[in-house]
Amino acid sequence: MAWMADNVELRTDVRALVPGAKSVICVADRYDGSPDDAPANHGRIARYARGRDYHKVMKKRLHAMCDTLAEQWPEHTFRACVDTAPVLERDWAQLAGLGSVGKNTMLIEPSIGSWLLLGEIITTLDIEASTAAPDDPCGTCTRCIDACPTQAISPWAVDATRCVSYLTIEHRDVVAPSLHEGMGTWIFGCDVCQEVCPHNQPTSRTVQADRESSAGTRSASLPLLDVLHWTEKDRVAAIAGTSATRAKLDMWRRNAAIALGNTPQSPAHRKALLAIDQDSAQPPMVDDAVRASLHRQG
Ligand code: B12
Ligand code: SF4
Ligand code: SF4
């Protein structure tokens, strides 16, 4: 994530992004946070990435909103962002009163929790500000810190280099073997620090919202042996149209190999891992993960 170090001035002042910006309109879209687990021998996909790509779903709606606003205020600029611009989205959302940042660094809306994706419209229009949400939705709770499988969370900060979300989605290299066990069967993202959060326990309001999630659900999990043997064509067929396309083929195969090392041993798994181990043409990140999984399984 070297790009995080770029554009610091844009990240800290939206006026560098949209000259003359006076206001930020913040939106949050809730996705399905229903409790679930993967079937045996499957790898899990984080909930936010299971449906249609939220960048597209939310951007389309925000662009429509920008067009409507521009009709009324043609002299003003309206720029839509969803996760793509260098903007501190959670800070803005908290300042806009949408919710408060918890110890796991997620923005939590007090009555519906943190299964939310954030977006903004940055504008030169001067809009009266809403009241910022209060700090600290957590009190003495430490559930997310205790449950994080790689000990990535210290209050209000996530060490991305340990976070399973980073390791499975962003890290394009060999994963340090000391982190493999903590990755469990997650093959794209991780939801543990949200699953355990008291703000995310199902209520009648959230169960209703789950049914109405705008992006829908495609794959919540995938068979690990299939992913281990994927070609580029298989990858596209399985996840096209979702934000899970961010991880490249070798990363998916690496993640599946690591997850196989964390599932109960079976002759089929062992055979598949050994076959890859003996194939000298495998990319290092896959080869390394396969060897570590065979080692972990004795
Ligand atoms: C880089 C990034 C990551 C990285 C690093 C995460 C991180 N903690 O920084 C990785 C790959 C690990 C990641 C993982 C995930 N991400 Co992400 N990610 C981003 C991205 C692109 C930038 C975040 C950023 O700027 N981080 C840098 C630090 C400085 O910012 P920050 O963590 O937001 O820190 C602020 C607060 O923590 C607060 N703060 C810090 N200390 C304190 C102390 C107190 C007392 C208080 C009150 C506040 C506070 O101030 C900080 C500075 O503004 C944003 C999109 C965006 N443009 O904002 C999405 C975003 C944060 N991610 C999102 C999601 C959904 C996830 C995952 C849940 C995906 C998944 N299921 O696998 C995980 C969650 C992991 C976690 N617990 O954070 C959503 C979060 C929605 C929400 N409800 O909050 C965002 C906003 C994308 C979006 N448009 O919806 N992500
Ligand atoms: S997403 Fe997973 S690994 Fe990352 S901080 Fe949350 S629980 Fe820890
Ligand atoms: S699990 Fe507890 S400490 Fe973590 S974000 Fe939720 S309320 Fe805060």
Provide the pLDDT for residue 297. 87
197 lines ligand 2 (CB under 6 A): no
How does DSSP classify residue 246? Answer: G
Provide the pLDDT for residue 1. 85
Instruction: With residue 206 as reference, give the H or E element that holds it.
Output: helix 204-211
| Spatial CA neighbour of 186 closest among 166, 159, 160 | 166
- Return the residue whose CA atom lies nearest to atom 2 of ligand 3: 141
> Closest-lying ligand to the alpha carbon of 62?
1
Angle at which helices 249-260 and 284-296 pack, to 10 degrees? Answer: 10
Phi-psi region of 236 (alpha: psi -120 to 50; beta: other; left: phi over 0): alpha
User: What pLDDT tens digit does each residue of the chain (298 aa) get?
Assistant: 888 888 788 888 899 999 999 999 999 999 999 998 899 999 999 999 998 999 999 999 999 999 999 999 999 999 999 998 889 999 999 999 999 999 999 999 999 999 999 999 999 999 999 999 999 999 999 999 999 999 999 999 999 999 999 999 999 999 999 999 999 999 999 999 999 999 999 887 777 766 666 666 678 999 999 999 999 999 999 999 999 999 999 999 999 999 999 999 899 999 999 999 999 999 999 999 999 999 998 8
220 lines ligand 1 (CB under 6 A): no
107 lines ligand 1 (CB under 6 A): yes
Provide the pLDDT for residue 7. 79
How far are the Cα atoms of 21, 41, 68, 79, 128 from residue 71, in angstroms, in the given order?
Answer: 18, 53, 5, 14, 20
CA distance 153 to 149: 10
Catalytic residue positions, numbered: 83
- Distance between Cα 234 and ligand 3 center (Å): 38
- Distance between Cα 81 and ligand 1 center (Å): 15
Provide the pLDDT for residue 156. 97
- The token pair that represents 166 in the structure block: 């980073």
Mutation probe of ligand 2 site: the residue of 44, 47, 104, 200 with most atoms within 8 A of C-beta: 104
- Return the residue whose CA atom lies nearest to atom 8 of ligand 3: 138
N- to C-terminal Cα distance for the chain? 34
Provide the pLDDT for residue 210. 65
104 lines ligand 1 (CB under 6 A): yes
- The token pair that represents 84 in the structure block: 């793509």
Provide the pLDDT for residue 215. 62
Buried b (16+ CB within 10 A) or exposed e, 236-255: eebbeebbbebbebbbbbbb
**How many residues appear in the chain?**
298
Contact 174, 231 (CB under 8 A): no
> Closest-lying ligand to the alpha carbon of 189?
1
How far are the Cα atoms of 113, 136, 176, 203, 256 from residue 206, in angstroms, in the given order?
Answer: 8, 22, 37, 5, 31
Nearest atom in ligand 3 to the alpha carbon of residue 145 is 4
